[in-house]
Amino acid sequence: MPVSIATPVLANGLLPMFIPATAPETTAKAADAWAKAYVGYAVAGGVVAANTRRLSLAQALTAAFRPELAGGGQALFMAALAAFWIGMPIPAQLGAAVVFAPTNPSVNSPQDPSATPQQQANGLARVIAGLTLGAVKVQLATPPNPIVPLV
């Protein structure tokens, strides 16, 4: 399955973070849960090398999710995703990710106050999937080595 249709996998991975009984209790646990969900999404999309970067993604997200940043960690969040993707082999496209350049760096996912945990997870997954597909560019291994969007 290409990454472009793996959004439901991401939503399912994010869902426990929106359920009070299973929500992470610390910044580090939230970052690890987020990294696990995101890596699951990438792997479901055929990017198996993502497994090797889960720990480093979780560590970078821990810095980005620090409460004292009061929402100012967005640049660190984008840097964490860029470090995660750059150089990543993309088997389905016979290439590697060489660029992470968000067209819209917003990761805000406004939800209705009465949204269910599943609706919240779905909304955030759509935002993150859109960000990922818009930002990741893959250089194909075959000449003339064009750079194309992640699919």
List pLDDT tens digits, range 11-52.
999 999 999 999 999 999 999 999 999 999 999 999 999 999
Secondary structure of residue 96 in the 3-state scheme? strand
**Assessment of whether the complete model's pTM goes beyond 0.85:** yes
Is 26 in contact with 58 (CB distance < 8 Å)? no
> What does the pLDDT look like over 87-136, one tens digit per residue?
999 998 999 999 999 887 667 767 788 899 999 999 999 999 999 999 99
**Which residues, in sequence order, are CB contacts of 39 under 8 Å at separation 6+?**
50, 51, 53, 54, 57
CA distance 12 to 121: 7
The answer, yes or no, to whether residue 147 has pLDDT greater than 90, is yes
